Amino acid sequence: MDKLLVTPTEAAATLGISRSRIYLFLSKGTLPCVRVGRSVRIPASALQEWVAQQILNPSAASSRDGDGR
């Protein structure tokens, strides 16, 4: 069985971006998260949906994260 939820570190490695960028996306609501106690987990399906959105609208994340990168 594949993981349904991944850690921010795993999500960053999967997407090839920094862990701090993942936390930025989480704080802005760009990526949804699930809280398990004090831990933050990201649905694996949300990562796939985010990538699909970036293919359709590549400027969407950079315009929402506030730093223009």
- Report the C-alpha gap between 37 and 14 in whole angstroms: 24
Instruction: Supply the pTM of this predicted model.
Output: 0.80
Q: Domains in the chain, ordered, with CATH?
A: 5-64 (1.10.1660)
Return all residues near 54 (Cβ < 8 A) that are at least 6 apart.
60, 61
pLDDT tens, position by position, 9-60: 999 999 999 999 999 999 999 999 999 999 999 999 999 999 999 999 887 6
